[in-house]
Chain A
């Protein structure tokens, strides 16, 4: 029981519990906040795995931008009141059952088929954020140039689309 292991377990406990919290909370804002916590926890995981750039990106984009956007919309639309009757009574138990099955299956298949062998080596002390960024930048612009460019176009389209969607149509009478 090394220190990393304990650390990992504690963090994973937090991650799982915040996930459950997001799932089960009645208030949408609480769900969003739980999710933010989850994202932060996952960012810490990234750090443990020696991906500091990604960790920063996670916090900045995911927890910072995306979740804030979520919170904006939640507050805009208001925490809705749930209608009293449940329309699909069999949905929840079945979903839970199937989800557990999926989890078991996924674990099983990834472990047996993929057969990863080995331990995650914690990052060496000499791991430098700047080194990582430079390496990533090199890879991005050399091997993964096309996806990079396409992703930029995608972001452009998303922006335009979002604006177009909420624009009020001028009705022609």
Chain B
């Protein structure tokens, strides 16, 4: 008998940690992984609400999110590999050619 609010708080904390990771780490891969963490936090909230409301919609949504996350990771990692080929580094601070 866990109140749903606890799940919400947990989801928020996990999301926040993911945000901090995106903003703070310089390694592109770590940033990517923090994004996955954020997605996961959102998925958790979905499922929690779905369970509360006794509907499958939440789970369906999470299903789709997972599929899209997979696709996104595939493409994203390919991009990172490409960047590494030209820049010899995956430090996002070194990819500031668009500075004004």
Binding site for B on A (CB under 8 A): 2, 4-5, 8, 12, 15-16, 19-20, 22-23, 28, 31-32, 35, 38-39, 42, 45-46, 48-51, 53-54, 57-58, 61-62, 65-66, 69-70, 73-74, 76-77, 80, 82-83, 87-88, 91-92, 95-96, 99-100, 102-103, 106-107, 110-111, 116, 118-122, 135-136, 139-140, 144, 147-148, 151, 154-155, 157-159, 161-162, 165-166
B24-62 vs A, CB cutoff 8 Å, 1 = contact: the mask equals 111101101110110010011101111110001111101
Chain A residue contacts of B77, Cβ below 8 A = 69-70, 73, 162
Contact across chains for A111 and B17 when beta carbons are under 8 A apart: no
Total A-B pairs, Cβ < 8 A: 222
Contact partner of A35 (CB less than 8 A), chosen from B12, B26, B37, B84, is B37
B74-100 vs A, CB cutoff 8 Å, 1 = contact: the mask equals 110111111010000111010000000
Contacts known (A136-B59, A161-B78); A22 close to B33, Cβ less than 8 A:
yes
Complex Cα distance A30/B88, Å? Answer: 22
Contact partner of A19 (CB less than 8 A), chosen from B14, B45, B69, B73, is B14
Chain B residue contacts of A15, Cβ below 8 A = 10, 14
Complex Cα distance A170/B25, Å? Answer: 35
Output the residue of B5, B32, B84, B89 with the most chain A CB within 10 A. B5
Contact across chains for A166 and B20 when beta carbons are under 8 A apart: no
Contacts known (A62-B66, A77-B84); A120 close to B52, Cβ less than 8 A:
yes
Chain B residue contacts of A31, Cβ below 8 A = 30, 33
Contacts known (A66-B69, A151-B67, A166-B81); A54 close to B36, Cβ less than 8 A:
no
Q: List 27 A-B contacts (CB under 8 A).
A: A5-B1, A15-B14, A19-B17, A23-B21, A35-B37, A42-B43, A49-B47, A51-B50, A51-B59, A51-B62, A54-B47, A57-B66, A69-B73, A70-B32, A70-B33, A73-B29, A73-B81, A96-B24, A106-B15, A118-B3, A119-B1, A120-B7, A120-B48, A158-B75, A162-B78, A165-B78, A165-B81
Contact partner of A122 (CB less than 8 A), chosen from B1, B18, B45, B90, is B1
Say what secondary structure dominates the interface of chain A: helix
Closest Cβ of chain B to A156, distance in Å, is 9
Top 5 A-B pairs, shortest CB-CB distance: A158-B71, A95-B23, A165-B78, A103-B16, A162-B78
Closest Cβ of chain A to B50, distance in Å, is 7
Contact across chains for B69 and A5 when beta carbons are under 8 A apart: no
